[in-house]
Structure 1
Amino acid sequence: MNITREYLGGITTSNTNLLNFLESIDKATIGIEVNPRTHMRGATAFWHLSPDLFEQHIFNINDLPLNKILRRSKSLKDVERSYRPIINLIKKVLKKETPDVILLNGTYYIPWMISIAAHELDIPIVLRYAGVLSRETRWSSPRARKIFLAMERSFRKRVYSYIFPSQITEEVVRKEVYKTAVHKAYVIPNSVNIPSDIEIRPPVDRCIAIVGRDTSIKNFEAFFKIHKILLRQKWKHEATFVTKPGSMKNIPKTINIMAPMRPEGLYEFYMSQGLIIAPSHFETFGNVPMEAACLGVPVLVSDQMGCAEVLRLAGLDNMVMSFDDLNAVAERVKKLCGQQIMPHQLNNLRKKLNLRLINEKILAVLKEAAAKG
Structure 2
Amino acid sequence: MRYAIVTETYPPEVNGVALTVQGLEQGLRSRGHAVSLVRPRQDSDVADLPDTMLVRGAALPRYPGLKFGLPATRRLTRLWTNTPPDAIYVATEGPLGWSAVRAAKRLGIPVATGFHTRFDEYMRDYGAAFLQQTAMRWMRRFHNRADATLVPTRELQDFLASQGFERVVRLARAVDSTQFSPALRDSALRSLWGARTDTPVAIYVGRIAAEKNLGLAVRAFRELQGKRPDARFVWVGDGPAREKLAQDNPDFVFCGIQRGEALARHFASGDLFLFPSHSETFGNVTLEAMASGVPTVAFDYGAAREHLRSGVHGVAVQDDEAFVAATVQLGDNATLRGLMGGNAAEAVRALRPDQVAADFDVLLADLAATRRSYANPATA
Same fold (TM over 0.5): yes
In the other structure, the counterpart of 1:9 is 15
Kept in 2: contact 1:275–1:336 (CA 8 A): no
- Out of 148, 151, 161, the position equivalent to 1:164 is 151
Residue 97 of structure 1 and its aligned partner are, at CA, apart by 3.0
Name 2:213's counterpart in structure 1.
219
2:66 matched to which residue of 1?
none
Q: Deviations over 1:80-132 (max 9, x none)?
A: xx965x33233333333311111122434442332223222222111222122
- 2:267 alignment partner in structure 1: 270
SS class of match (2:37):
strand
CA–CA distance in structure 2, aligned partners of residues 169 and 217 of structure 1: 18
Of 113, 135, 141 in structure 2, the residue corresponding to residue 127 of structure 1 is 113
Q: CA deviation at 1:234?
A: 4.2
Q: Indicate conservation of the 8 Å contact 2:315/2:326, yes or no.
A: no
Shift of 1:287: 0.8
What SS does the aligned partner of 2:102 have?
helix
Q: 1:41 aligns with which of 41, 44, 48?
A: 44
Residue pair 2:91, 2:97 contacting (<8 A) in 1 also: yes
**Counterpart residue type for residue 152 of structure 2:** P
The aligned residue for residue 308 of structure 1 is: 305
Q: Which amino acid aligns with 1:132?
A: R
* CA–CA distance in structure 2, aligned partners of residues 345 and 260 of structure 1: 24
Q: Distance in 2 between matches of 1:227 and 1:295?
A: 21
> Which ranges in structure 2 are unaligned for 5 or more consecutive residues?
62-68, 187-196, 372-380
Answer yes or no: is 1:237 the counterpart of 2:220.
Answer: no
Match for residue 354 of structure 1?
352
Structure 2 CA distance, aligned partners of 1:265 and 1:332?
28
- Cα RMSD for the two superposed structures: 3.1
Which of 210, 213, 222 is residue 228 of structure 1 equivalent to?
Answer: 222
After superposition, residues 115-154 of structure 1 pair within 5 angstroms as: 115-138=101-124, 139=126, 141=128, 145=132, 147-154=134-141
Tell whether the 8 Å contact from 1:286 to 1:306 is kept in structure 2 after alignment: yes
> Gaps (5+ residues) in structure 1?
68-81
SS at match of 1:117: helix
Q: Is the 8 A contact 1:323 1:329 kept in 2?
A: no
Counterpart in the other structure of 2:327: 330
Asked if 1:250 is matched to 2:217, the reply is no
Distance (whole Å) between structure 1 residues aligned to residue 76 and residue 333 of structure 2: 48
Describe the shift of the 1:210–1:343 C-alpha distance in structure 2 as closer, same or farther (beyond 3 A).
closer
1:127-152 residue CA offsets vs partner (Å, 9 max, x unmatched): 22212232233336467555533320
1:160 counterpart letter in structure 2: D
Q: Deviations over 1:312-340 (max 9, x none)?
A: 29x83643223421431332342566424
SS at match of 2:29: helix
Separation in 1 of the partners of 2:276 and 2:89?
Answer: 29
Contact 1:105-1:128 at 8 Å conserved across structures: yes
Over the matched positions of the two proteins, sequence identity in percent amounts to: 18
Query: How many Å separate the matches in 1 of 2:18 and 2:149?
Result: 19
Give the aligned partner of residue 297 of structure 1.
294
**Aligned-residue offset at 1:18:** 2.1
